[in-house]
Amino acid sequence: MKKPLLTILSCLAVTTALAHQQTGDDRVDYRQGAYKIMGWHMGILGDMARGETAFDLDRAREAARHLQWAERLTATTYTPDTKQAHKSRLLPRAWRDMDAFADRGKALKNEIDALESDLEAGNEGAARQRIGEVGKACKACHDDFREKMKH
């Protein structure tokens, strides 16, 4: 049987990935990717909360699920091998006060869980307000533990 070119190419890509030792910098890439995913879905929710796009419960539920998943991914990336990663914008004070940092993460998780409950209940008004609370939980952590971003 003839192998399609795509299969061969993807096998090559997998082999290359396996041959490459994962470093702290790679993990920071992964972390930043997960945060970008959160940013994307917050964008969708924020537009709905502000009434810039129609409020759609199914779309909002899907966005909330992606937020929850991406939050779980970021939480696994704060390993010591990322401490020296140059591209990371995590402020060093987070390592000195990991409990406070982790609390910010928990606060976000709680708001996302609450948003999911509001959406399950079909309560649009509560969900709109809750999206604001989720946004505040993002900002609270960024204010304390992330370098200022230029863009």
Residues of the shown chain interacting with ligand HEC in the complex, contacts defined by CB under 6 A: 28, 31-32, 35-36, 38-39, 42, 67, 88-90, 101, 104-105, 108, 134, 137-138, 141-142, 145-146
Give yes or no for a contact between 105 and 141, defined as CB atoms under 8 angstroms apart: yes
Query: Which run of H or E residues covers position 141?
Result: helix 124-145
Nearer to ligand HEC, 58 or 99 (CB): 99
Closer to ligand HEC by Cβ: residue 31 or 128:
31
Q: Which is nearer to ligand HEC, 31 or 130 (CB)?
A: 31
Contact 137, 38 (CB under 8 A): no
Nearer to ligand HEC, 2 or 148 (CB): 148
Rg of the chain's alpha carbons, rounded to an integer? 19
Rounded to a whole number of angstroms, the minimum distance from the CB of residue 91 to ligand HEC is 7
State the minimum distance, in angstroms, from the CB of residue 36 to ligand HEC.
Answer: 5
The nearest distance, CB 17 to ligand HEC, in angstroms, is 21
Q: Which residue carries 């993990």 as its tokens?
A: 27
Position of tokens 């649009």? Answer: 124
State in angstroms the smallest separation of the CB of 73 from ligand HEC: 12
Give the separation between CA 88 and CA 24, rounded to whole angstroms.
10
How far is C-alpha 42 from the chain's CA centre?
A: 9
